[in-house]
Amino acid sequence: MRCLVRAEGVRIDRHDIQSGDASESCRAEDSLVVCNLCQSNELRRLPYHYLWEEKRFQGMKCRRCGLIAVDPLPSDAELERLYSHDYFDTGLHGLDQAGVDYETLADRRLDSTRRFIRQVIRSRHAAATGLFEVGAAMGHFLQAAQLEGYRCGGIEFSPTAAERAREKFGLDLITGNFEELDLSGQHEQWDVVYNGDLLEHLRDPAAAVERLAGLVAPGGICVTRLPGTFNLLSTRLATPLLGALGRSMQLPDKPYHLYEFTTGTAHRLFSRHFRSVEIINEANPPGKLNLKTRSAGYVAKYIMQYVNYPLTRWTHRFGDRMTVIARNRSFR
Ligand SMILES: [Zn+2]
């Protein structure tokens, strides 16, 4: 049973949690019947969901390993509509609501991206000369890497974005789906394999990490940036509270994030294919939070960030951004 109520601008679903088995309202042809990370089929409903094209995408958590995913996973046709040509202009999870398009924001970040490359990548693998990015978009990260002296390569799903990377930065990107392309020519060719905000968008992140590992040269590293919303104190507190109240928060985005990772699940994901895994937690200062709505939930998140931000700086935990540095098996 389900009824919709509205409170202070937040769309809340109230469920009869007695009948709250995921299979009843969420299972469909492409349903997440099995956890992508541990293959368990014991999943429990989390109190958040997306509603897109009149279809509900329910947040679910694996009882065994803790991986969070939406159920059902979008179909191929739905993914195609999600990443239509205007994705970088208006569809990019709320950047449009902040009045900034992807390219403008990426242009502004050149200095901070170069700093990230020096502080996080160069400091961990000083001898690296080649850097390959999976999901290179319009090539802004690779431009920064070129300026830092790397020989660069990359792959991008969107032909429009790849063309922009060629026009703007002279980058010759491979175009296509990373999960399907034959990348045997790139096998073990790259000292550094980088990807940012990629894995949470893919239907099979476990297979994607195996493919990433295959690109890393002996002695190399894979550097991955992930959102970590479920690491935040505000999310950790709100999740059991909403669950106990039998409520579910409808997120304002389209279901771009098929998965949500925590430090625990990110570590598990990478440790299968790499010798060692280091995870850096960062939190945005409150003023830099992208508040997608002024709903009660987001206002509470904003207030909690005043506690969370210094806490993350102090403890290196509870961040909303993670950088995973995975060292290849032959890393010295
Ligand atoms: Zn699992």
| C-alpha 63 – ligand 1 centre gap (Å) | 7
| C-alpha 201 – ligand 1 centre gap (Å) | 18
The C-alpha atoms of residue 246 and residue 297 are separated, in whole angstroms, by 16
Give a yes or no: residue 21 inside a domain.
Answer: no
| C-alpha 59 – ligand 1 centre gap (Å) | 14
| C-alpha 284 – ligand 1 centre gap (Å) | 28
| C-alpha 202 – ligand 1 centre gap (Å) | 16
| C-alpha 88 – ligand 1 centre gap (Å) | 32
Q: Is 24 a residue whose pLDDT tops 70?
A: no
Q: What is the CATH number of the domain that holds 306?
A: 3.40.50.150
What's this model's pTM, rounded to 2 decimal places?
0.81
| C-alpha 226 – ligand 1 centre gap (Å) | 18
Tens of pLDDT, residue by residue over 63-105, are 999 999 999 999 989 988 888 756 665 544 544 445 567 788 8
* Residue (of 276, 275, 199, 279) closest to 37 by Cα position: 199
Confidence of residue 17 (pLDDT cuts 50, 70, 90): very low
Return the bridge partners of 193, or none.
132, 222
Give a yes or no: residue 148 inside a domain.
Answer: yes
Tens of pLDDT, residue by residue over 172-210, are 999 999 999 999 999 999 999 999 999 999 999 999 999
Which amino acid is located at 259 in the chain? Y
Give a yes or no: residue 79 inside a domain.
Answer: no
Give a yes or no: residue 91 inside a domain.
Answer: no
Give a yes or no: residue 202 inside a domain.
Answer: yes
Tens of pLDDT, residue by residue over 151-162, are 999 999 889 899
Confidence (pLDDT) at 207 = 97
Burial 287-321 (b: 16+ CB within 10 A, else e): eebeebeebebbeebeebbeebbebbeeeeebbbb
Confidence (pLDDT) at 194 = 98
Q: What is the mean pLDDT of residues 102-121?
A: 90
| C-alpha 224 – ligand 1 centre gap (Å) | 20
Contact status, residue 118 vs residue 147, Cβ threshold 8 Å: no
| C-alpha 278 – ligand 1 centre gap (Å) | 21
| C-alpha 29 – ligand 1 centre gap (Å) | 20
Radius of gyration of the chain (CA): 20
| C-alpha 27 – ligand 1 centre gap (Å) | 17
Confidence (pLDDT) at 332 = 53
- Average pLDDT of every residue of the chain: 83
| C-alpha 162 – ligand 1 centre gap (Å) | 34
Whole domain around residue 140: which residue ranges? 109-227+276-327
Give a yes or no: residue 222 inside a domain.
Answer: yes
| C-alpha 216 – ligand 1 centre gap (Å) | 26
Confidence (pLDDT) at 1 = 29
Confidence (pLDDT) at 220 = 96
Give a yes or no: residue 76 inside a domain.
Answer: no
Domains of the chain: total: 1
Reduce the DSSP state of residue 131 to 3 states and report it.
strand
- Measured CA to CA in angstroms, residue 318 lies from 119, 257, 281, 288, 309 at distances of 21, 19, 7, 17, 9
Tens of pLDDT, residue by residue over 263-278, are 999 999 999 999 999 9
Confidence (pLDDT) at 331 = 58
The C-alpha atoms of residue 194 and residue 196 are separated, in whole angstroms, by 7
Tens of pLDDT, residue by residue over 34-45, are 899 999 999 999
Give a yes or no: residue 183 inside a domain.
Answer: yes
